[in-house]
Structure 1
Amino acid sequence: MPGPWGAALYDCRIAHVRTRPLRHAFQHRTYLWLVDLDRLPRLPAPLRPLARFQARDHLGDPAADLRRNLDGYLAEHGIDLRGGQVLMLAHARSLGHVFNPITVYWCHDAGGAPVCTVAEVHNTYRERHRYLLFPDAEGRAETAKTFYVSPFFPVDGGYRMVLPEPGEQLRLTVHLEREGGRALTATVHGARRAATPLGLLRAAGRHPLSTLVVSAHIRIQGLRLLARGLPVQPRPRRGACPATLPGQNGATRR
């Protein structure tokens, strides 16, 4: 990846389109990092408040490191990358705050071949969940929904995801399919920039307090949906997951 830190920055436009039971759409702009878990950026001291990559901000042991936690999760599913590269797309902790609605990990074996993709989803209740995916050559994969995200959707249906590994362009799509049809589409589109001191300063200047703004934006949209009369769905107890969809097991190969 370009840049002295072996990482990339993506200037992104994130869009959500809800189509059922009512139509509601919004978008916002932000920036995301693409980093190698074995080569996390080492920023000079004055810039460190703008970007920290810490295990406590993701699933796993907060006292371990990101790579070890991901390898442990994969081992639970019988997967050993044998030291192969893992790329992570995420917000960094910036000025003491971080919120990642979705973090994506692209996992390769020692020869560089893709093995799997992990989508780690965070909700606004400080809960987190991982989906293990085996995408096809275009990055397409399906999985049952087993985690409460939006308070306006129950935990049912399934996701159709398109998560190709980023290059010059970043293009991710997540569709939520429920009985009766597609209920939600979320997209992330972005253009790659080298992660350099000047590049980071520019991104932080264009999107100040970026992750805090993302959190606030989600809550504002929730209030708008409440004002439109959309009912809140009860949040399941932790560990209470619905049955998987027919033909799905949460880690579907295509």
Structure 2
Amino acid sequence: MNRAGHTPAGSLYRAKVMHRRRVAPLYRFVYRIFYLLLDIDRIDQLDRSLRWFSRNRFNLLSFHDADYGRGERGGLRRWAQSVLADGGIDLAGGRIQLLTLPRVLGFAFNPISLWYCDHADGRRLAVIAEVRNTFGEKHSYLLPAPASRDGGAAYPWIQHKDKNFHVSPFFDLVGRYRFELNDPADELRVVIHETREGEPIFDATLAGRRLPMTDRQMVLQVLRMPWMTIKVVIGIHWQALKIWLRGARFHRKPAPPSTEIS
């Protein structure tokens, strides 16, 4: 059975992000953030019911189709289904939820957005990790359901992918990712480990708690973090400067991958 009717059209997650470099020069930083988890077929419903949230229009918080997939207005499901079809996955019309940063006063930068893709019977069949860098490029990793899942584990969803996309100038493309995800509910947990030849070099974590996506909560979160999306970009460059000053090797940006999906 499709679970869409039993879940809200949108939720808000107040969260913390942690980045940790595990090779010299070592560093670690944490910042506050909030994400939205949106049923992609019910975003218009949120637009109609909320004063401070809009789709494809300026508002305090907004969602713009142009920021995702191929950037086609109204093309979210079409893009996701094409990615899944290339991986031999058919949702039979099931729910797709998108975890993403909203635009705040028209501005956003999304280092990673996660598409949680369910079959019509409620089984989660795949997650699409849509990754962006600060050069305006993006690439997506298709994470099919693991062969076995422990529903009681902290991270029941674990998948591995070779690194195919330039993100940081202080790491080259020789690497492998381990994605550890829970099923977003009251708590949200995302962990990405990057390794090179089996040795850990970088960790990124996202941990948050769900709040109702109401006008009141959206205003409260913006008041707590008024420059959130701008701070994401500034923070990336500020941390990069500190790492460079500590002597990290700089890698020139390679050509983007020839394929949209890995």
- TM-score with structure 2 length normalisation? 0.86
- Following TM superposition, where does structure 1 have runs of at least 4 consecutive aligned residues deviating by more than 6 angstroms? none
2:168 matched to 1:150? yes
SS of corresponding position for 1:56: helix
Counting only pairs closer than 5 Å after superposition, residues 23-102 of structure 1 correspond to structure 2 as 23-40=26-43, 41-42=46-47, 44-48=50-54, 49-102=59-112
Q: Distance in 2 between matches of 1:21 and 1:5?
A: 44
25-34 vs 50-59, which moves further: 50-59
Q: Which amino acid is the alignment partner of residue 147 of structure 1? A: F
Q: Distance in 1 between matches of 2:235 and 2:114?
A: 21
Q: Distance in 1 between matches of 2:257 and 2:115?
A: 23
Q: Residues 184 and 52 from structure 1, CA distance in 2 versus in 1: closer, same or farther, beyond 3 angstroms?
A: same
Q: Distance in 1 between matches of 2:223 and 2:178?
A: 34
Matched with 2:153 is: none
2:157 matched to 1:139? yes
Q: Distance in 1 between matches of 2:101 and 2:206?
A: 13
Kept in 1, the 8 Å contact 2:175–2:196? The answer is: yes
Give a deviation string over 1:109-139, Cα, whole Å, max 9, x none. Answer: 1111111111111111111110001243211
Q: Distance in 2 between matches of 1:45 and 1:220?
A: 34
SS of corresponding position for 2:99: strand
Matched with 1:125 is: 135
Identity of counterpart residues, as a percentage? 32
- TM-score with structure 1 length normalisation? 0.89
Structure 1 residue 107: Cα displacement: 0.5
2:181 matched to 1:172? no
**How many residues get paired?**
243
Give a deviation string over 1:116-170, Cα, whole Å, max 9, x none. Answer: 1111111111111100012432111111110000110001110011012211111
Q: Which amino acid is the alignment partner of residue 126 of structure 1? A: G
Q: Which amino acid is the alignment partner of residue 138 of structure 2? A: R
Structure 1 residue 240: Cα displacement: 5.5
2:22 matched to 1:12? no
Q: Which amino acid is the alignment partner of residue 232 of structure 1? A: F
Q: Distance in 2 between matches of 1:5 and 1:86?
A: 13
Q: Structure 2 residue aligned with 1:184, among 180, 202, 216?
A: 202
Q: Distance in 2 between matches of 1:224 and 1:240?
A: 32
Matched with 1:245 is: none
Q: Distance in 2 between matches of 1:225 and 1:202?
A: 33
